[in-house]
Amino acid sequence: MALHDTEELKAAPSNQVESDVLDHETQTYVFPEQRQNPQTVYQTIHDQLILDGNSQQNLATFCTTWIEPEVKQLMDESADKNMIDKDEYPQTAAIEERCVHMLADLWNSPEAASTIGCSTTGSSEAAMLGGLALKWNWRKRRRGQGKSTDAPNLVMGPVQVCWHKFCRYFDVEIREVPMEGDRLLLTSQEVLKLCDENTIGVVVTLGVTFTLQYEPVHEISLALDKLQAETGLDIPIHVDGASGGFLAPFIQPELLWDFRLPRVKSINASGHKFGLAPLGVGWALWREKHDLPSELIFEVNYLGGNMPTFALNFSRPGGEIICQYYNFLRLGKEGYREIQIECSALGRYLADKIAEFGPFRIIYNGEGGIPGLCWELKDPTSSNFTLYDFADRLRERGWLVPAYSMPPNREDLVIQRILIRHGFTLEMAGELLVQMQIVLDEFAHHPPAERLTDSLVGAESSAHDHSGR
Ligand SMILES: *Cc1c(COP(=O)(O)O)cnc(C)c1O
């Protein structure tokens, strides 16, 4: 839900689009009195949507923008399918169940055929469910020991905003290890400093939003094993594999990050990111059935049939889950591997080329993490432009390449990031590089009169925070 301010909406240029099809006033702020011809309404909305950005040039988003015709067809055929209505749509429910077990297999659950998991609207909902399970399990352990359950905390590195939400909404103290100097990720040493008897778990991110790098799950797991041997504290890991959950199994199969590590009790991933499903699907899985506390599961019988559910939402569209299943069958490990390898290679290619421009230092070159890259200015103080200026000029040319500042304690570090998704081609990379060169030449001859800064960007445009997407 976007919280829109009506005055702001009135001022926003996108709402001043004239349409010769429907009267402007009636389509904006006032609930219509009369019905309209469907074709007229369709054309009006269609015309408005043309002014949206071109998703192929959106290098900010993690979400898939590649949709096969068969996926469109399946989405069309399942527009009326409600995921919660498992009694009415048993085939859709069976497909969801198969996806859970295929993912459990892909992520090496020792009980792939019987473990538990669910689809969600995305990784955010999946993170809430993962966090709740950690909190419930911790509380059960503490009660068993006759100890206080007043002050649960969750340890993490630079996380996506969904973990801030989880901690605030569900009353858990957030212990976020800040970035320091060149350390932009969570490390085992930092984890050990923050863990105590009230720690419900450690969230390790496989593909950090800000820099695209993987956090060292295996190393953190080993450190927590050692902590347990020394102190008796048994602290579980939840892996936020929003992106990495659909990358590592295909292109870094030797990397230990999943249920092969017994301490990894739950994993979330976004089907609609590198899972390549249409928007609106995520996954949450537990290592073994008993890792999900049964108290969190609701039995619902009023749709006919007794159905266990674990979700924040009730009604949800079934189409994207059906299409996720289509992708699993259509691509298999081979197809996913091919696609993700190609995306990674394009990321490395762009990293090399962008380094050659001169003013930039590559922070992540596409090697070992999410397909893509990020960079900073080598010398931000003496540069006659900022990365915000660079992003702004590229945007005028249709390319969305966000610039943003890092979270604490590296707010001083401004970087720019590109995600490479399926559908981005070598030709497009070439065109982007040409546009980048043109902008850099412009800066060389006509530097911006006033350099854009973080606060200026926020005040002057309606630019959204792209770092979190
Ligand atoms: C995108 C992302 C999320 C949120 O996922 P949605 O599917 O957009 O809800 C959470 N964590 C990480 C690491 C992400 O990249």
Whether 64 is in the pocket of ligand 1, judged by its Cβ within 6 Å, is: no
* CATH 3.40.640.10 domain position(s) in the chain: 73-329
Whether 122 is in the pocket of ligand 1, judged by its Cβ within 6 Å, is: yes
Mutate to test the pocket of ligand 1, among 163, 185, 209, 283 (most ligand atoms within 8 A of CB): 209
List pLDDT tens digits, range 325-368: 999 999 999 999 999 999 999 999 999 999 999 999 999 999 99
C-alpha distance from residue 266 to each of 121, 129, 134, 261, 413 (Å): 17, 10, 9, 11, 32
207 CA to middle of ligand 1, Å?
10
Joined together, the tokens standing for residue 408 give 């604490």
List pLDDT tens digits, range 60-76: 999 999 999 999 999 99
Percent of the chain surpassing pLDDT 90 = 83
Q: Can you tell me the mean pLDDT for 85-108? A: 94
List pLDDT tens digits, range 389-426: 999 999 999 999 999 999 999 999 999 999 999 999 99
Q: 73-329 maps to which CATH number?
A: 3.40.640.10
Range with the lowest mean pLDDT among 17-31, 279-293, 307-321? 17-31
Residues in the chain: 469
Whether 62 is in the pocket of ligand 1, judged by its Cβ within 6 Å, is: yes
213 CA to middle of ligand 1, Å?
14
What is the pLDDT, as a whole number, of residue 30?
A: 87
Q: Is 433 exposed, middle or buried (0-12, 13-18, 19+ CB in 10 A)?
A: middle
Q: Can you tell me the mean pLDDT for 238-255? A: 98
Q: Reply yes or no on whether the pLDDT at 464 is more than 50.
A: no
* CATH 3.90.1150.160 domain position(s) in the chain: 334-468
Rounded to whole angstroms, the Cα distance separating 427 from 425 reads: 5
Q: Are strands 372-377 and 414-419 parallel, antiparallel or unpaired?
A: antiparallel
Rounded to whole angstroms, the Cα distance separating 424 from 419 reads: 10
Rounded to whole angstroms, the Cα distance separating 433 from 446 reads: 20
C-alpha distance from residue 292 to each of 93, 131, 221, 267 (Å): 20, 11, 20, 12
Range with the lowest mean pLDDT among 90-104, 127-141, 299-313, 439-453? 299-313
Q: Which atom of ligand 1 is nearest to the CA of 243?
A: 15
Between residues 19 and 83, the one the model is more confident about:
83
Q: Which atom of ligand 1 is nearest to the CA of 159?
A: 13
Q: Reply yes or no on whether the pLDDT at 442 is more than 50.
A: yes
Average pLDDT, the chain: 92
Mutate to test the pocket of ligand 1, among 156, 270, 283, 419 (most ligand atoms within 8 A of CB): 270
Percent of the chain surpassing pLDDT 70 = 90
Rounded to whole angstroms, the Cα distance separating 57 from 278 reads: 18
- Of the candidates 415, 425, 352, which has an alpha carbon nearest to the alpha carbon of residue 386? 415
Q: Whose CA is nearest to atom 3 of ligand 1?
A: 123
Whether 344 is in the pocket of ligand 1, judged by its Cβ within 6 Å, is: no
What is the pLDDT, as a whole number, of residue 86?
A: 86
What is the pLDDT, as a whole number, of residue 100?
A: 96
Mutate to test the pocket of ligand 1, among 123, 156, 165 (most ligand atoms within 8 A of CB): 123
- Domain range 334-468, CATH class: alpha beta
